[in-house]
Amino acid sequence: MALASFDGDFSFSQESIARLGDRAGSSKLTEEQQKQLKQSKAFQAQLRLEELLKEYSEERDKKRVTLDQSFTPDDADFSAAKAYDYDRSTNYYEILGIDEYAPLDEVNRAYKRLSLVYHPDKTKGMSAQQQEDYETIFISVKNAHLVLGDQPTRRQYDKDRDQDKAKEVVSGVKAPSSQHVDLTEVLKRISEMQRPPGKVVEVQLELELEQFFYGAHKAVSRDRRIKDFYAGMINQEHVYRFHVPRGARDPLELTFKEQGDHNPDTRPDTVKFRITARPHAVVTRQEGDLLRPEEIQLSAGSLAEAYFTAQVPGLRGRRLLVWGRNPFHSSWRSQPPSTETRLVVAVRGEGMDDEGCLRFTCKFRAPDTPAAFSSQTARQFLKEMLSASEALQEGIDGEPYWTSFAPVAEAAQVATDPESIRRAIGAALQAIPGEWALIAKCVKLLQRGLGTSMPSLQQFLQRHKLGSESLGDDKTEFHCRQDAQGSQHGSHSKRKSKQLSVKEEILLRPLGEVMPLFTKPHSSITFYSNMDDLTQEQDPGTTSAVPVFAVCLASAACATPEAEADWKQLEETLLPLLEASIFQLMPAARSQKPLCIADFAAAATSAASEAAGSAPWRRLGAASFRRSDFWLAAHYYTRWMVDVGSDPEQAVALSNRAACFAKVGDFLGSLEDARAAKELRPDWARTWARVGFAAQNLGQDYLEEAFQAYRQAVELDPSRDNLQGLAQVALELFSGRQAEEYAQGNASWASESFGQAVACYTIALATHPAKLPVAEMEAFARKEEELVDAESRINAEENFREATKKVQQATSSEDMFNLAALYANRAAALCHLRCWDAAVQDAQMAAQLQREWPKARCRLGVSLLGAGRPEEAYVQFAWALAFDSHSAVARQGLEACLTAIPRWRHRRAAQSRRLEKDRIRPRDSTKVWVVSDLYFDAKSNAEWCNALDDAKFQDDVLIVAGNVADTLHSIIRGLKVLRSKFHRLFYVPGNRDLALNASEVRTARFPDSIAKLLGLLAACDQIGVDMFPAAISQDVYVVPLHSWYNAEFDKKSRPDPNHGFDAQCVWPLDPNQLWKWMLKLNEVFLKPLQGTVLTCSHFVPLTTLPFDGLGKQAQAMGCEEIEDQLRRVRSAGHAYGHASIRTCQVHGGVTFLNHALGVLEDSEAVPSPRLLFDGHTVVT
């Protein structure tokens, strides 16, 4: 279809009118002319054009909305500024290779995909012409992304293209299109590439090994021949830039295609660089590993040391410090003198890549061999040493001890230092095999020189990690070295000594992350260890792994020869610091520190310490101990000992250091410090406990000392740890002493030596033959908990009775009664010493073993009362009184608890937190609803509770004004249901709640109703139900008021307090005093509160409120004193129950609301909770 785009019957102005329609508002056209204009072909073509444009645009928007959820069409897009001044004839969709309805994320992906190919950064290594072609394509891609990646620009571009498309439909004229890539030039360049390739020119290049290790960027300049349009072939310098990655292979080949000399008939030459590493002076490369051919020579005598350390130079800018246990230490004496011992260490991560290793060998050197002895000279030398030893006074040991043997050593041509003398004695012992009497005397000589507290050579060797040598049948362990010529020792030389490996291999792995150091130049340190190998099981027959650690100081900036001076300065500054503090920097290495680590600080003089200023060593030691850095803590405590000198605090420092040594297993060192502390502070229980703990862990030979120390510690401070330690030692040391210790404990009790009594009872308990029925007691405790949480109350009661029967059978023997008596007596002694917590544990055990024994209950009540837990104490005294109504102790304890409970001292902190919990909630966000007399144990009432909306009240508060159910099990279940539907729940118990149900009597759940009230308090704490005052929002509070009825509430008949209301409630108080005690529970919290206060009670607070007063029922309805308390807290609304009459009245400015649920009938309309506070004011 073809339409004329111009009508010759109209002028230019008429054509404008045809385009603008009535908007032109021309006064030159008559109505007839305008009619003709609208019927003209041009006008109709324009209308068709606009209709098609609108149709295309709407169709495009619908498809884009369907495909792109982020697309939101907006008319403002057509008037927004363009992100790029596009060419409407260019198809940018074809450039990106996407559909015209593609979502924005697809546009971005297409742009990213093409950028990865054509971006100038991706064309390095190509020829200049290729780079230029790629750059042209990338510009087109970038422009397409600018147009299509911006929504307003894309919509304007689509509208212009739709307009061209509509014009083509209307007028038949096709819109022009432009080609975004010049194909002619591309074809020309393709033909250029079809020329034969040039030759490959190989260039040899050497780099430092450090550049392969760290990685490097290089630029190499070379002359090349290029084709010039005017001058022909000319030489020009060209720079080749490349990157050598870390750990690159050697040789590394890099190819620069067609970047060499230009040729007239072929393509340019290709340059290939073959890069190799120069030979290194220290290490060599083997694939991904670095090898150090030269061995690390350790110092003379390093083979005999328990620990070794070494510095390992390597590449420039790296220095490795290695420290660890000597794996050959325990076996070096058994090796021939000519044996060479080496340790091969591989450090993973120090090779050419992360998996490569730096491998080096440490060669250990044996101590200088002492002078050889013949049998005769050895025997003479040893006898002279023994004679010199006998002349010494007792108590001399250590350095002075060995110095006294200097004349004998000089005569035998032996060095006079202690180590040389000890080695000479060992060499002499080796020369006299079989002379065991002389050997045994020399062993004692060595033993005395090692310290008076050292009981045997075996323990000395064990303490200093020298192996497990002992004085067994084979005495060769005392020889320092096997003689190379075995024939001179007769049959002993034929005995084969244990041969261990002379070469060990250890792999160190990175430990943690690289730690940067803020130095100039920049440096870092990396830690390595083999701790993972220590946790793995070793193969049989292999040497057990030993801990080895390393730290590498590195600076990549110092890897060049030009930075040698900077590296030396860095080494001189940091290496001494690392050597001194490496163990503190590596927490895993602290537990493997030499046991003599704390001795170095003791050599410092007090004057030096004073000059350095007083340091907080005690606080630093305590902080390190809490972090489990026990060696560092021991170091700080040693410094503290130097500072305090002879001050009494030195006992504290010694005791603390003893604890540190005990934590790392150095129990002998711990025992020495604890003994010294005990001498300074013999009246301090902790020092005795430290002695006991260390001695207990040293074995059978020290058990008697441990027993006496723990006994003294218990007499001074019968803490739970001291009691446990004494019991453990007594169990290992004795058996069958319970009768003797029991009698001695009673005698100490009679003489009021309660600490001694506790110690005696503890020993008697530990050695008692009876075993606790743990399984039965645990089963009983589980069944007791199920009484509250079980779904089926009947089954729970049956299971509980069965568990009770089993416990009674298991504890009915006389031995069990004696065991309970021991626990009860020790609890009484602990009470006299005011060790309340320990007394509570003992009394609980006695009560569990003999549940119906009044004395055990009384002891438990006294302990709980002393520990500040009067609520729990009351229950025990009540049970004791139930079992023995004549018990004076139980009666006095009960009265003490009734006096202490209303003070709520142990609840005040929790009450303060509860009061502030919701204070920041907006006032209008919380409503308060009321219900009472819930009767949850009725099926219809339970269904009513469960049917409440789960979401409607989640920001609101519910007040339950008593009488939920008649058993604790049902009360807690009902409160849990309501608690799940409201933000908070407040509850006060009623008379039905405090009655003792028949099931609770059968299961001996509570001794009386006050015990049930206290049980309700504990259970509500666990499920999050409030029974004490709390804020519910800004300036809005709920204050529950505990109460009981007063017979004087009845104004029409004579009060009769003994009428017998609520016969199922059991009270230890007179009825005239019960309501007063209940109100006393509220006294602590009756403080005026600023804001809206809502109160609640179960019983009726006013006689003017409606209630059932038939007969003498009024005497059990309410208490007028409740009104006094609610007005003291300035209550604005009060919820109550018990009267069973729903009402809402205002008296004296206070709204009184009763919304009793009662037992619901099937025909009765189901009520909802009643609104008391709507978030703004009290609802009247």
* pLDDT tens by residue, 271-321: 999 999 999 999 999 988 999 999 988 877 777 676 788 889 989 999 999
Query: pLDDT (tens digit, 9 = 90+) per residue, 1141-1171?
Result: 889 999 999 999 999 988 877 556 667 899 9
Average pLDDT, rounded, for the chain: 79
pLDDT value for 397: 64
Query: pLDDT (tens digit, 9 = 90+) per residue, 210-250?
Result: 888 988 888 888 888 887 766 778 888 888 988 888 888 88
State yes or no: cis peptide before 521, omega within 30 of 0.
yes
Residue 855 lies in a domain: no
Mean pLDDT of 740-766: 86
pLDDT value for 1003: 64
Range of the domain at 645: 595-702
* Residue 361: pLDDT band with limits 50, 70, 90: very high
Residue 495 lies in a domain: no
Q: How far apart are CA 83 and CA 1151, in angstroms?
A: 70
pLDDT value for 1094: 95
pLDDT value for 274: 92
Phi and psi angles of residue 765, each rounded to the nearest 5 degrees, phi first: -65, -40
Query: Residue 501 above 90 pLDDT?
Result: no
* Residue 462: pLDDT band with limits 50, 70, 90: very low
CB-based contacts of 149: which residues, under 8 Å, 6+ apart?
83, 104, 107, 108, 111
Q: How far apart are CA 780 and CA 803, in angstroms?
A: 5
Q: What is the DSSP letter of 523?
A: E
Residue with tokens 């007499």: 715
pLDDT value for 72: 81
Phi and psi angles of residue 265, each rounded to the nearest 5 degrees, phi first: -110, -5
Indicate whether 209 and 274 sit together in one domain: yes
Indicate whether 246 and 329 sit together in one domain: no
pLDDT value for 335: 67
Residue 85 lies in a domain: yes
Query: Residue 378 above 90 pLDDT?
Result: no
Higher pLDDT, 278 or 460: 278
Residue with tokens 């043997």: 405
Residue 492 lies in a domain: no
Please check whether residue 631 is in contact with residue 587, taking contact to mean a CB–CB distance below 8 angstroms: no
Task: List the CATH number of the domain containing 270.
Answer: 2.60.260.20
**Count of domains for the chain:** 6
Query: Residue 871 above 80 pLDDT?
Result: yes
226-240, 612-626, 638-652, 661-675: segment of lowest average pLDDT? 612-626
* Residue 1042: pLDDT band with limits 50, 70, 90: very high
Q: How far apart are CA 149 and CA 858, in angstroms?
A: 85
Maximum distance among all Cα pairs of the chain, rounded to whole angstroms: 153
Indicate whether 952 and 1055 sit together in one domain: yes
Residue 14 lies in a domain: no
Indicate whether 270 and 292 sit together in one domain: no
* Residue 491: pLDDT band with limits 50, 70, 90: very low
pLDDT value for 552: 92
Query: pLDDT (tens digit, 9 = 90+) per residue, 180-208?
Result: 554 345 445 545 555 788 888 898 999 98
pLDDT value for 503: 77
Q: How far apart are CA 1132 and CA 875, in angstroms?
A: 37
Which string of DSSP letters, residue by residue, matches 421-465?
Answer: HHHHHHHHHHTSTT-HHHHHHHHHHHHHHT-TT---HHHHHHHTT
CA dihedral 1026, 1027, 1031, 1037 (to 10 degrees): 130
* Residue 540: pLDDT band with limits 50, 70, 90: low
Query: Residue 453 above 60 pLDDT?
Result: no
pLDDT value for 478: 28
Query: Residue 62 above 90 pLDDT?
Result: no
CB-based contacts of 646: which residues, under 8 Å, 6+ apart?
none
Higher pLDDT, 710 or 122: 710
Helix (H, G, I), strand (E, B) or coil at 266: coil
Query: Which one-letter amino acid corresponds to residue 807?
Result: V
The region that residue 1005 occupies, defined by phi over 0 for left and psi between -120 and 50 for alpha, beta otherwise, is alpha
| Domain endpoint, select from 187, 207, 235 | 187
Q: How far apart are CA 756 and CA 746, in angstroms?
A: 10
Mean pLDDT of 349-372: 82
Task: Determine the Cα angle at 764 with ends 762 and 767, to 5°.
Answer: 110
Number of C-beta neighbours around residue 1082 at 10 A: 25
pLDDT value for 290: 92
Residue with tokens 């409970």: 901
Query: Residue 3 above 50 pLDDT?
Result: no
Indicate whether 531 and 413 sit together in one domain: no
Q: How far apart are CA 650 and CA 105, in angstroms?
A: 73
Q: What is the DSSP letter of 557?
A: G
pLDDT value for 646: 65
Query: pLDDT (tens digit, 9 = 90+) per residue, 658-674?
Result: 999 888 888 888 898 89
Indicate whether 1010 and 1097 sit together in one domain: yes
Rg (CA), the chain: 48
pLDDT value for 599: 33
Indicate whether 1020 and 1089 sit together in one domain: yes
Residue 876 lies in a domain: no
Assigned token pair, 1038: 């709920």
89-103, 864-878, 891-905: segment of lowest average pLDDT? 89-103
Residue 344 lies in a domain: yes
Q: Tell me the HSE value of 194 on the side-chain side, using a 13 A CA sphere.
A: 6
User: Considering the chain, what percentage of its residues have pLDDT values greater than 70?
Assistant: 81
Query: pLDDT (tens digit, 9 = 90+) per residue, 912-963?
Result: 777 778 888 898 889 999 999 999 988 888 889 998 988 889 999 999 999 9
Q: How far apart are CA 931 and CA 10, in angstroms?
A: 90
Query: Residue 550 above 50 pLDDT?
Result: yes
pLDDT value for 285: 92
pLDDT value for 447: 65
Assigned token pair, 788: 């509250």
Indicate whether 1137 and 1020 sit together in one domain: yes
pTM for the complete prediction? 0.53
Q: How far apart are CA 509 and CA 532, in angstroms?
A: 8
Task: List the CATH number of the domain containing 684.
Answer: 1.25.40.10
Indicate whether 1136 and 1004 sit together in one domain: yes
pLDDT value for 423: 74
pLDDT value for 413: 76
Mean pLDDT of 409-429: 76
| Domain endpoint, select from 661, 680, 702 | 702
Residue 856 lies in a domain: no
pLDDT value for 449: 63
CA distance to 211, 355, 528, 993, per residue, from 288 (Å)? 14, 8, 18, 80
Measured in Å, how far apart are the chain's first and last C-alpha atoms?
84
Mean pLDDT of 874-885: 90
Q: How far apart are CA 119 and CA 112, in angstroms?
A: 10
| Domain endpoint, select from 702, 719, 749 | 702
Q: How far apart are CA 241 and CA 206, in angstroms?
A: 15
Indicate whether 1149 and 1057 sit together in one domain: yes
Task: List the CATH number of the domain containing 1100.
Answer: 3.60.21
Please check whether residue 959 is in contact with residue 930, taking contact to mean a CB–CB distance below 8 angstroms: yes
Indicate whether 1095 and 1062 sit together in one domain: yes
CA distance to 260, 283, 320, 928, 1143, per residue, from 313 (Å)? 42, 9, 6, 78, 94
Query: Residue 452 above 90 pLDDT?
Result: no
Query: Residue 2 above 60 pLDDT?
Result: no
Indicate whether 961 and 1069 sit together in one domain: yes
* Residue 1127: pLDDT band with limits 50, 70, 90: very high
Q: How far apart are CA 685 and CA 917, in angstroms?
A: 43
Query: Residue 1103 above 60 pLDDT?
Result: yes
Query: pLDDT (tens digit, 9 = 90+) per residue, 1112-1123?
Result: 788 888 899 999
* Residue 536: pLDDT band with limits 50, 70, 90: low
Mean pLDDT of 731-737: 78
